[in-house]
């Protein structure tokens, strides 16, 4: 249910962005607000509390965000306040980002590695995977010491596993078949 609510609001904003050719702009502005909430948890808590009425929250919205984001995004936040859906803001941003990425042919992926990868390595992986998938790939690095070395990349429903752990597991299976 919560996911459906987020998708519904994200779709409505996406439709407005598509019509006004502002999809990317709106995504940037949503991320700006998200960053504001991340950096000031009290602000997001203030938006969610029932102790402050929605009209006061709208004034706060104008004071903080007007001039920093478009009028459409300010209005969108006010709609979320009116409909008591501001608590779904993070889910809405995530759903909107997914829609925007689909529009631009971008697919998200995760690269697991035993140590943190530098930006240059991630960029080279993104370029290589983009040529293989015919889509622009955006990777996030996830450090997982259990893989011992190498990398495992997940893009959509595809997994490219070139980890030492995977190689050892495969070798163990081959040895087990030989011994039997």
| The CATH number of domain 106-179 is 3.30.70 | no
CATH class of the domain comprising 2-102: mainly alpha
pLDDT at 4: 92
Q: What percent of the chain has pLDDT over 70?
A: 98
pLDDT at 9: 97
What is the pTM (predicted TM-score) of this model? 0.76
Cα 105 to Cα 111: distance, rounded to the nearest angstrom: 19
Cα 177 to Cα 61: distance, rounded to the nearest angstrom: 65
pLDDT at 2: 67
Domain boundaries of the chain, sorted by first residue? 2-102, 106-179
Q: What is the pLDDT of residues 30-78, one digit of tens each?
A: 999 999 999 999 999 999 999 999 999 999 999 999 999 999 999 999 9
Q: What is the pLDDT of residues 73-104, one digit of tens each?
A: 999 999 999 999 999 999 999 999 999 999 99
Lowest mean pLDDT among 67-71, 112-116, 163-167: 163-167
Q: And the tokens for 175? A: 């040895």
């Amino acid at each position: 249910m919560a996911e459906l609510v987020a998708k519904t609001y994200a779709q409505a904003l996406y439709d407005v962005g598509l019509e006004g050719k502002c999809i990317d702009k709106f995504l940037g502005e949503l991320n700006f607000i998200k960053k504001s909430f991340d950096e000031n948890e009290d602000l997001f808590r203030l938006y969610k509390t029932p102790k402050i009425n929605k009209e006061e929250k709208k004034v706060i919205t104008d004071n903080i965000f007007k001039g920093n984001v478009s009028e459409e995004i300010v209005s969108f936040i006010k709609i979320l306040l009116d409909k008591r859906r501001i608590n779904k803001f993070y889910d809405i941003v995530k759903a909107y980002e997914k829609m925007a990425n689909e529009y631009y042919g971008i697919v998200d992926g995760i690269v697991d590695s035993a140590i943190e990868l530098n930006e240059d390595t991630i960029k080279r992986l993104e370029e290589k995977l983009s040529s293989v998938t015919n889509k622009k790939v955006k990777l996030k690095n996830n450090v997982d010491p259990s893989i011992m070395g190498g990398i495992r990349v997940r893009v959509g429903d595809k997994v490219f596993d070139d980890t030492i752990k995977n190689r050892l597991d495969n070798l163990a299976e081959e040895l087990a078949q030989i011994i039997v």
